[in-house]
Structure formats: C-alpha cells, structure tokens
Amino acid sequence: MNMYTFPMQRRFGEPEHGHKPAPTPTARVAVAVVALGVLLFVAALAGAPLGRTWFGPMASFVLAGGGAIALIRMRYRNTTPGIKHNGVFFSGATSRGALAWGLGILFTGFYVMLYWFPAPLVGAIRLVDPVSYALAGHAANRWFLYGFLYTVAMIVFGTRMFYKYRHNRYERIRTASVIVFQLGFAFLIPHILERLNEPEFYFTYFWPLKPDYLFPSGVHWLTSSSGHLGAFLVGWGAIMTFVATPVLTYFLGKRWYCSWVCGCGGLAETLGDSWRQLSDKSLGSWKVERWMIHTVLILIVTLTALLWFNDAHAGLVFGSFTRALRRWYGFFIGMIFSGVAGVGFYPLLGSRVWCRFACPQAAILGLFQRFFSRFRITVNGGQCMSCGNCSTYCEMGIDVRSYAQRGENIVRASCVGCGVCSAVCPRGVLKLENGPVSNRFPGADAPVGAFLQSLGLRKRKHGGGAYWS
C-alpha cells in the first residue's frame, strides 16, 4: 500500500477542470443583466451623465443587484435545504485563487480611492445624486456613495444568506436583523436627519467603535448644533456604551451587537460569508489577536481620556500630542484597518479581520462575554467526531473543534455568535445558548479569578474535558 506524507498537495483531490456543467440559458441571461448593470456603473465612472434622473441609478443598481439575486436563487433553487458547501475549497474565488486575489485588489483599491484619492469616483457619486437628494436633500458625496453601495451589498448578499440558510431560522432572523439595522439606522435615518437640518447621527454606532460620539468635539457638536435632540443623541450614545453594552452582553453575549446590529458585522455576515473559511485558526494568530485588539482598546481609552483632559485644560498640557494621536488613530485604525484591510482583504483573509484583530468595540464586548455573561456554546456530550467543519467555518478563527472534541463549552471573547458552527456540524453537537453563569467554563463561579488567570497573574487550574482527561 502507498503512504501519504504531510503536507499533501494543497488541494488534495480537486476535481479536474471542466467538471462544472455549462450554465443554463436563464443563468446566461442573468449574467448578462448583471454585466449590463455593472457596465452602466462603469459608464458613470467614466463620466457618462447618468445621475441626472432616477433612470441611471435605477438601471445600474437594480440590474446588477437583481441579476445577482436571480443568480443566487438559481444556485440554491435546485438543492434541498441544508448545508451546501460543495466545492468551497475547489473554487479559486473561495480558496485564495486568482479570482480571490483580483477581488481583493478591487476591494482594496476602492477603499484607497474612497479615503485618499476620490477623484476617479466622481462619476459614481453623481450617479447616486438623485437618491441623495431624495433622502438628505443635497447632492451626494463620497460617503453617501459608500453608504449606498454598502447597503446594496448587504441586501443582495443578505438574500444569499436567506437562500443558503433557508433551513435555519437563527441565521435567517439574524440576517434580517443586520439588514434592517443597516438600511434603517445606518442609512435612511442619518440622511433623513440631515434633511431635517439635524446631525447625521448613526444610532447603531457608539463609543469606542464610533469614538467621536464621546469625544469632547463630538459632544460639543451634537449639543450645540441641535439643542434637545443633540443632548438626547449624546445621552443615547452614552447609554449604549455604558448601560446597553454590559447589560445586553450579560444576557445575550456579544452577538446582540456583532452579528445582529453592527454594520461592519453585517457586511461580514452577508458579503463576506463566502470567505469565512479563510480565517487563520492557529494558536499563533490567536495570540496576535489578543495583543492587537486589546492594544487598540487601550489606545482609544487613553486617547479619549486625554481629549477630555485637554478639553478641561484648554489643550495646554498634552494638546499637540493628543492631536497627533487622534490623527494617527483615525488613519491607522479607522481607515487602514477597518476599511482597506478589514473589507479589502475579505477574499484572502476571511470576513472578520477587522472585528477579530482591531475593533475596540469587539474588545470590550469580548471582555464582558468572556467573564460576565450568560452566553456560551454548549457541546452536546460526547457526540463530536472531530470532523473540523466548525473550526473551518468559524469566521473568527476559533478552533471550535478543540473544545467540542473534549466535551468542553466554548466561551471565547472573540465569538460573535453567528451560529454557523452549530449549523455546519453534521452531528448536532453545538448550540448557542444563554444560561446560568455557574457552569459555563471551569472557574466560571469566580470570573475575577478567571480574568486574572487569563492575564497570567494567577495559576490556571486545568478544567476537566470530560472525554480526554
């Protein structure tokens, strides 16, 4: 008998090319419709004045989005309801092939233009002018274009989630939730507020993900520009940060925000879903994650404190240092990390790079989730047979299997509660649930002690995995 040595060729057993059946005539029509929509968008970019009437944006986005939805429907229509990950690792688009690199460059390039070189986007901005006039009452700018594209992407690829998970109510409800929060609270309402001459305020973002809302400048801007409403908005942000975050996370886990409300999470869960298997599962990447995300948290806390200190002392003490820190934080964390790398690298590094490595909101929610929450992923006795679907499809790079095969609950700061590990498990081993804190993880009865252990300040007691120890 022959023997295998490890590692084997990267795509062990990939079928020969030409395996896929030829597209049907309807699929060809749908592809043509998408291409036409994209063509109109490109024509607008090239300067065609398509945004003077509603016709331009309607034709472009409805054709591209509608065609894409039709293709998605055809993809899933002839399958029975269930997990259909056939060929994920055989397709270059979803396993870091040429197509994935191309998309990565396209996404990254878009963010670079958006932030620093918007000139080539002017045509596209004009294309969405009618939408902007209707909502906000003024011409579109690049941020309006961005929000519009973002929302359209979430709706189109959210539809994909509805088809893909039509057997799974948790996924369907969660997807509906992120779409509603994005469309309503992160797109329509802020622009309608603008139209009413009120601040363009995003109810679903707050400090520290949207630090400005608790920076002195932000607070002054909100309170001075719109009186009572402004005071309400400042109060709203503060309540979300200081009350909702700990209370909701205690009862539901960080998922209430990260995979049900947040727009960044929403895009990752819709547009990014195809690339969730690309997250790095190694212990090394977990270590990098913990250092990076908590460093960002310390940075933003320090920066906020300094800004308020300066505000109280008229900027006389750390004024220039704080201004520089704020600029650098905005540049590296706000632009490079959350945009260029966070979304740009979806097709190469998976959909949650930003959320996992650098989001300060996720860091805070994660600390609560790890030590003061009722949320956990329960492992069903000894039913795990270590196949690896859960770990592979975890977008946060959690090695879920390493817990499941020991019969140990999964209580991890980074878990956003997307529920996909539970969905892909062929043995029904995993369940996201909220329950008594006392039996969540070994040492759960003393969360402060567990926290100190995690910092290495107290010796770790080894908890019993029922099936190995």
Partner 1 sequence: MHVAIIGNGITGISAAIRLRKRRPGWDITVISGESEYHFSRPALMYIFMGHLRFEDTLPFDKKFFKHQRIDLMQAWVTKIDTENKMLVFDGQTQPLGYDKLLIATGSEPNKFGWPGQDLRGVQSLYSLQDLDLLYRNVRGAQHAVVVGGGLIGIEFAEMLHARDIGVTFLVRETAFWNVIIPDEEACMINRIIEEEGLGLVLETELDHIVDGGDGRVSAVRTNSGETIACQVVGLTTGVHPNTHLAKTSGVPTGRGILVDRSLRTSIDDVYAAGDCAEMVTGEERNLIQQVWYTGRGQGLAVADAMAGDEVRYDPGIWFNSAKFLDLEYQVYGTVPRTGAAPPGHTSLFWMHPDGRHSLRIVHNNGTVVGFNLFGIRYRHEVCERWIREKRSVDYVLAHLAEANFDPEFYGRYEVEITAAMKRQVA
Site residues (CB under 8 A) for partner 1?
Answer: 1-8, 10-16, 19, 21, 80-83, 85-91, 167-170, 173, 282-283, 378, 380-383, 385-389, 391-392, 401-402, 405, 419, 422-423, 426-428, 431-433, 467-469
| Cβ at position 469, least distance to partner 1 in Å | 7
- Sign, Cα dihedral of 358, 364, 366, 367: positive
- CA dihedral 291→441→352→402, nearest 10 degrees, is 100
Closest CA to 259 of 149, 114, 375: 375
Pull the structure tokens for residue 63. 């054709």
Please enumerate in sequence order all residues whose Cβ is within 8 A of that of 45, keeping only pairs 6 or more positions apart, or say none. Answer: 120, 121, 123, 124
| Cβ at position 260, least distance to partner 1 in Å | 12
| Cβ at position 407, least distance to partner 1 in Å | 9
3-state class (DSSP) for residue 430: strand
| Cβ at position 79, least distance to partner 1 in Å | 9
| Cβ at position 381, least distance to partner 1 in Å | 3
> Are the C-beta atoms of residues 141 and 125 closer than 8 Å to each other?
yes
Pull the structure tokens for residue 200. 């363009």
Q: How far is CA 114 from the centre of its chain?
A: 19
Which C-beta is closer to partner 1: that of 191 or that of 276?
276
Which C-beta is closer to partner 1: that of 131 or that of 432?
432
What's the DSSP call for residue 94? G
| Cβ at position 467, least distance to partner 1 in Å | 7
Which C-beta is closer to partner 1: that of 208 or that of 417?
417
Which C-beta is closer to partner 1: that of 228 or that of 462?
462
| Cβ at position 346, least distance to partner 1 in Å | 19
> Are the C-beta atoms of residues 190 and 201 closer than 8 Å to each other?
yes
CA angle, residues 126, 155, 278, in degrees to nearest 5 = 105
Q: How many CB atoms lie under 10 A from the CB of residue 263?
A: 21
| Cβ at position 286, least distance to partner 1 in Å | 12
According to DSSP H, which parts of 313-357 are helical? 319-329, 346-349, 353-357
> Are the C-beta atoms of residues 88 and 14 closer than 8 Å to each other?
no
Q: How many CB atoms lie under 10 A from the CB of residue 296?
A: 22
| Cβ at position 116, least distance to partner 1 in Å | 37
Q: How far is CA 61 from the centre of its chain?
A: 23
Which C-beta is closer to partner 1: that of 228 or that of 428?
428
Which C-beta is closer to partner 1: that of 126 or that of 352?
352
What phi and psi, each to the nearest 5 degrees, are found at residue 426?
Answer: -80, 0
| Cβ at position 423, least distance to partner 1 in Å | 7
Long-range pairs, 330-338, Cβ under 8 A, ≥24: 333/296, 333/299, 333/300, 333/358, 333/360, 335/111, 335/115, 338/264
Which C-beta is closer to partner 1: that of 168 or that of 226?
168
> Are the C-beta atoms of residues 170 and 419 closer than 8 Å to each other?
yes
Question: What separation in angstroms does the CA of 140 have from each of 39, 137, 179, 392?
Answer: 21, 9, 22, 41
Which C-beta is closer to partner 1: that of 387 or that of 452?
387
Which C-beta is closer to partner 1: that of 229 or that of 387?
387
| Cβ at position 464, least distance to partner 1 in Å | 11
Which C-beta is closer to partner 1: that of 146 or that of 257?
257
274 vs 107: CA distance, rounded Å: 15
Which C-beta is closer to partner 1: that of 3 or that of 316?
3
